[in-house]
Amino acid sequence: MRWLAQEKLLRQELYKEFIEEASKCYIDALQHDKPDVPALIVLYAKVARIRVLSSQTVLDHAEQIERKILDTYLQPDKTFSELREMANSGSINLFRGFSEACCAEFESLRVQQF
Residue 90 φ/ψ region, left for φ over 0, alpha for ψ in the -120 to 50 degree band, beta for the rest: left
User: What is the spatial distance between Cα 65 and Cα 82, in angstroms, rounded to a whole number?
Assistant: 20
User: What is the spatial distance between Cα 51 and Cα 36, in angstroms, rounded to a whole number?
Assistant: 23
Residues in CB range of 15: below 8 A, 6 or more apart? 50, 58, 98, 102
Residues 56-92 pLDDT 10s: 999 999 999 999 999 999 999 999 999 999 999 988 8
The mean pLDDT of 7-17, rounded to a whole number, is 93
Query: What pLDDT does 54 receive?
Result: 95
How far is the CA of 80 from the CAs of 36, 87, 88, in angstroms?
19, 10, 12
CB 18 within 8 A of CB 50: yes
Radius of gyration of the chain (CA): 16
The mean pLDDT of 10-26, rounded to a whole number, is 96
